[in-house]
Amino acid sequence: TQLLEQSPQFLSIQEGENLTVYCNSSSVFSSLQWYRQEPGEGPVLLVTVVTGGEVKKLKRLTFQFGDARKDSSLHITAAQPGDTGLYLCAQRTGGFKTIFGAGTRLFVKA
């Protein structure tokens, strides 16, 4: 079973700081999705990356897909309290299953 490893597990930072979280696998991804989950809610899709080396931006969030398609990163610039949440990476396999990482729990202090 393919596993997605996310790091760090927990991150607590001050408002205005930058941060990067990672998602890694021993196998090649066909594509990778990033979700954010806020307390009391289900995950919400942020982005899907498909091509090796691809970079996508969503306001202050930058998503990168590794050249070998075995890793991905999410960088947040000037974090705000509204960025607080659980960030999950996920891969939808060809066998109709979706695998999620355990997530990075981010807390941004005002």
Residues within the interface to another protein (CB under 8 A): 1, 4, 9, 30-31, 33, 35, 40-45, 48, 50, 88, 90-94, 96-103
| Least Å from the CB of residue 110 to another protein | 25
Q: Residue 32: name the closest of 93, 105, 108 by CA.
A: 93
Q: Which is nearer to another protein, 82 or 95 (CB)?
A: 95
Q: Residue 90: name the closest of 26, 53, 41, 47 by CA.
A: 47
The Cα 95–Cα 73 span in angstroms is 25
Q: Which is nearer to another protein, 22 or 100 (CB)?
A: 100
| Least Å from the CB of residue 84 to another protein | 17
Q: Which is nearer to another protein, 29 or 108 (CB)?
A: 29
Q: Which is nearer to another protein, 13 or 46 (CB)?
A: 46
| Least Å from the CB of residue 17 to another protein | 25
Phi first, then psi: give them for residue 20, nearest 5 degrees. -135, 135
The DSSP call for residue 81 is: G
| Least Å from the CB of residue 19 to another protein | 20
- Based on its alpha-carbon atoms, the radius of gyration of the chain, rounded to whole angstroms, reads 13
For 103, the enclosing helix (H) or strand (E) is none
